[in-house]
Structure 1
Amino acid sequence: MSVSSAYRPDPCFFDLGPEFGDRVQAADFPQTILRVRNDRAAATVGLETLSDDEWRAHFGRFAPLPGQPGPIAMRYHGHQFRTYNPDIGDGRGFLAAQLRDDQNRLLDLGTKGSGQTPWSRRGDGRLTLKGGMREVLAAAMLESLGVPTCRILSLIETGEALERGDEPSPTRSAVMVRLSHSHIRFGTFQRAAYYGRKDQIEVLLEHARSLYHPSVAPGDAPGFLAAVVEASARLTAKWISAGFVHGVLNTDNLNVAGESFDYGPWRFLPHYDPAFTAAYFDSQGLYAFARQPEAVFWNLTQLAGCLKLIAEPQVAALTEALNGFGPAYIRHLRAAFLNRLGVKSLGEAADQRLLDATLALLRDKGEALRWEPLFFDWFGGFSSSARALGGVRGKTYQGEAFDAFRFALLEHEPDRPERLEHPMFAAPEPEEMLIDEVETLWSAIEQGDDWSPLHAKLARLDAAGKAWAL
């Protein structure tokens, strides 16, 4: 076995017992064609030294890694578009392994498209290759922008022809492995509450508290909720600053660590549009761009309701923790926009003024100004004035809304202006992830089995992430 000395197995969730998951086996796929191998992510957990054959064996055939007990389909429930569903769980994926990373964080290897489980219902347990490619792109873009996200470790084409009602069929199949900080969802707690299992809620609380929020005292349900609220507020603010629309913010798609994962019908904003939705089936706009904070807060209230079962005397403290979401979200939103613009904080009032002015400019310009280029053009504040005004969007930057934005921006000092020396900022356009480009990348794969544009895009996103974060 070619794992490195950095490999440290720690299958904690598996020790919770059969009430939290079911032993399963992966599907026996006709083929295992390696399409995406994320060695940078693999190196953080000691897996970058695997040969390609070993990689396919562990992430296409799911031979257990050293010290791992074999896959388990996690049990959970969830509100899906605010309708409670007790018949879900890991229906086309499982927890394959848990291991420590180079920062001693516990990370999960979770799958998608690995075959049927007891929770598949009438599904085939599979993933389309296009769906897998889209998840690779979403995670890579979010990571480059500093958003807490899972990383897609592996994408393997599996050689099956899948029938789907919402895309041309038959279509190619894949199995994906994500590296994520946690797969304990709000819905994991909901399942225990649904069955009135206070003992399971207590077990989950201690398990999640000790692993993901260790600063919270044992048994402190309000403290744990406050930590999850804080992490969720930060994540939501980061989504908004990135112009990201998750698309399906159900309680089974949010985890207790405050890291996003499970990217289905995601989109990035082409331009400012509060009502922009990602999922074609979200006819009411429940998870539209500007409603994402509301959606996350609603989901947090469901988690609070579960914790109430074991903390009845602490209802006031739970409510106080829950109500901390709004202030935390605004605080993190100010910080996220300052980070995206590459400037330092000047205090709450000035930072809020910059946030308001940035949104006002994007709203004022509408389709004339795409979301991502604004942050690219004006990164570094005053240091980028000549670059922005002399660039391809120079004539766009005029008018009252722009004047207010520039005044609010230029009163903030640049944060590490040396980052502007990176070659990325000499380009006329930033790296974006709009739907037309996603379709172009898929077209190259579908029509000519050409993966080079995808890999080139991933390399550029990696470079962009380094430029932003230098």
Structure 2
Amino acid sequence: MPAHPQAYRPATALLQLGDGFYDPVAAATFPQATLRFRNGRAAAEVGLDTLDDREWVEHFASFAPLPETLPQPLALRYHGHQFRQYNPDLGDGRGFSFAQLRDASGRLLELGTKGSGQTPYSRFGDGRLTLKGGVREVLATEMLEALGVSTSRTLSLIETGEALERGDEPSPTRSAVLVRMSHGHVRIGTFQRLAYHQDEAGMRRLVGYVLRELYGEQSDDPLRLLELVVDRTARLAASYLAAGFVHGVLNSDNINVTGESFDYGPWRFAPTWNPAFTAAYFDHAGLYAFGRQPEAIHWDVMQLAASLRLIADSDPLIALLEAFPARFQQALADALLWRLGLTSRDAEEDRRLVRAVEQTLRTTDARLDRFFFDAFGGTLPDSYGDAWSDVRDAMTGFTPRKSRERDYWSGEPCSMLIEEVESIWAAIAERDDWSPFHAKVAAIRAMGAALAV
């Protein structure tokens, strides 16, 4: 365990909810455990950075309990809308909450798994994760963190030595177990389940838990909860667009009430500002396309409001929901200014710049990452022609929030398009060559350092 126990602060807050919210489960036993990725930065925040590799594997592949936190893994119960169809047969089907810890500020962090075995909610699934899926989740979380998106972080990826059959990958394919770290795994679908069962007492308990443990507020007011979730999810939707990210499956069971993006499946980064760009091959109607993500997230938050009607009046809930579009527009301006490396001027000038950037990116079909790289600090190179005059004019008068003097700005923009993702995976699948993967993580973190405030 950590050499500095004062940095390791275990918690058991989840147990406050009671056993109606989860099911105790056991992790699968894997034939091997090969450590492929450990996130030292994230581990240091909760006192786990001094674990040696043997201890790391013991806790994050064999799932030996961490001291004084959850005594056994808990599979969380929830419902949700999947592509707008209600499904009451959900729940953690290949993962569980494994531990809760507090960071130096006392904020709760939770370790959750993916690929850790079957649970009562696995239905017909094997409870496993493909190694490719794990690699993709590391890349997604690292890239989003660097681009300023509120996201779960991948703490650990361990290859587990099983041959898995999948319909959407060449099979048999390699297996893995992943551990993510976030501020909790309470979903909109968690509230929907309580509303479905008309569990008023459980709803009040969950509202209080989320406000107290995940938001740090001493309140049990459902209206305050919805106000916070509207704000956080509006910011999440805006940050997706500024990052050029398409989650792919924005079902209500995939929306965390903390506003943290998580549960990455068929994600992609859009090469251009194309509102119709989709990530999931099965999203035939483009419900969760790049440009429709704010609408999709707003719709999911509406389901939270509908659930809270069990313990709150409708009119004030509706009024809070109606604030989402305005909060999203403000958040989009904030997110685009952050990525452009500019300091806000005033609301009208900020909106003018957002309109110019969106329209010009859409009409020129410019590469997103190239544009944000070149425009960082508020000056476009001469190679950008007359089509960019509105953007140039709109950027006039904005103050850079930091310089371009770091090494990152003398190179090429860091992107994460599907072709590179597949190339990184091919090196692993064909030659067991992890060097492109580790090089990409290092490059992403260099970009994050260059963008950071």
When normalised by structure 2's length, the TM-score is 0.98
1:455 shift after superposition: 0.6
CA–CA distance in structure 1, aligned partners of residues 255 and 451 of structure 2: 26
CA–CA distance in structure 2, aligned partners of residues 289 and 175 of structure 1: 29
Q: Would the aligned equivalents of 1:4 and 1:47 in 2 still touch at CA under 8 Å?
A: no
CA–CA distance in structure 2, aligned partners of residues 334 and 326 of structure 1: 13
1:219 shift after superposition: 2.9
CA–CA distance in structure 2, aligned partners of residues 53 and 159 of structure 1: 17
1:103 shift after superposition: 2.8
Q: Would the aligned equivalents of 1:33 and 1:158 in 2 still touch at CA under 8 Å?
A: yes
Identify the residue that residue 373 of structure 2 maps to in structure 1. 376
Report whether the alignment pairs 1:123 with 2:125: yes
Identify the residue that residue 407 of structure 1 maps to in structure 2. 393
Letter in 2 for 1:209: L
CA–CA distance in structure 2, aligned partners of residues 205 and 326 of structure 1: 24
Report whether the alignment pairs 1:340 with 2:339: yes
Identify the residue that residue 385 of structure 2 maps to in structure 1. 398
SS of the aligned residue for 1:175 comes to strand
1:277 shift after superposition: 0.4
Identify the residue that residue 143 of structure 1 maps to in structure 2. 145
Among 443, 446, 451, which residue is 1:460 paired with? 443
CA–CA distance in structure 1, aligned partners of residues 417 and 377 of structure 2: 24
Q: Would the aligned equivalents of 1:4 and 1:48 in 2 still touch at CA under 8 Å?
A: no
1:4 shift after superposition: 3.4
Letter in 2 for 1:256: V
Letter in 2 for 1:133: V
4+ residue stretches of structure 1 with deviation over 2 A? Answer: 1-5, 212-215
SS of the aligned residue for 2:11 comes to coil
SS of the aligned residue for 2:123 comes to coil
Identify the residue that residue 239 of structure 1 maps to in structure 2. 240
Using the TM superposition, name which of 341-350 and 274-283 deviates more. Answer: 341-350
1:250 shift after superposition: 0.5
Gaps of 5+ in 1: none
Identify the residue that residue 365 of structure 1 maps to in structure 2. 364
1:285 shift after superposition: 0.3
Residue deviations 1:111-169, cap 9 Å, x none? 00000000000100000000000000000000011110111000000000000111110
Residue deviations 1:246-302, cap 9 Å, x none? 000001100111110111000001111100000000000000001001001110110
1:364 shift after superposition: 1.8
1:3 shift after superposition: 5.6
Report whether the alignment pairs 1:91 with 2:79: no
Among 380, 405, 416, which residue is 1:421 paired with? 405
Letter in 1 for 2:42: A
Letter in 1 for 2:53: D
Among 211, 214, 219, which residue is 1:212 paired with? 214
Identify the residue that residue 265 of structure 2 maps to in structure 1. 264
Gaps of 5+ in 2: none
Letter in 1 for 2:385: Q
Q: Would the aligned equivalents of 2:94 and 2:117 in 1 still touch at CA under 8 Å?
A: yes
SS of the aligned residue for 2:151 comes to coil
Report whether the alignment pairs 1:447 with 2:446: no
Identify the residue that residue 170 of structure 2 maps to in structure 1. 168
Q: Would the aligned equivalents of 1:247 and 1:277 in 2 still touch at CA under 8 Å?
A: yes
Report whether the alignment pairs 1:191 with 2:190: no
Identify the residue that residue 103 of structure 2 maps to in structure 1. 101
Q: Share of identical aligned residues, percent?
A: 56
SS of the aligned residue for 1:19 comes to helix
Q: How many residues align?
A: 451
Letter in 2 for 1:375: F
Change (3 A) 1:275 1:12: same
CA–CA distance in structure 2, aligned partners of residues 103 and 440 of structure 1: 40
1:15 shift after superposition: 3.1
Change (3 A) 1:2 1:413: closer
Q: Would the aligned equivalents of 1:129 and 1:173 in 2 still touch at CA under 8 Å?
A: yes
RMSD over aligned CA atoms reads 1.1
When normalised by structure 1's length, the TM-score is 0.94
Q: Would the aligned equivalents of 1:2 and 1:51 in 2 still touch at CA under 8 Å?
A: no
CA–CA distance in structure 1, aligned partners of residues 135 and 327 of structure 2: 33
SS of the aligned residue for 2:16 comes to helix
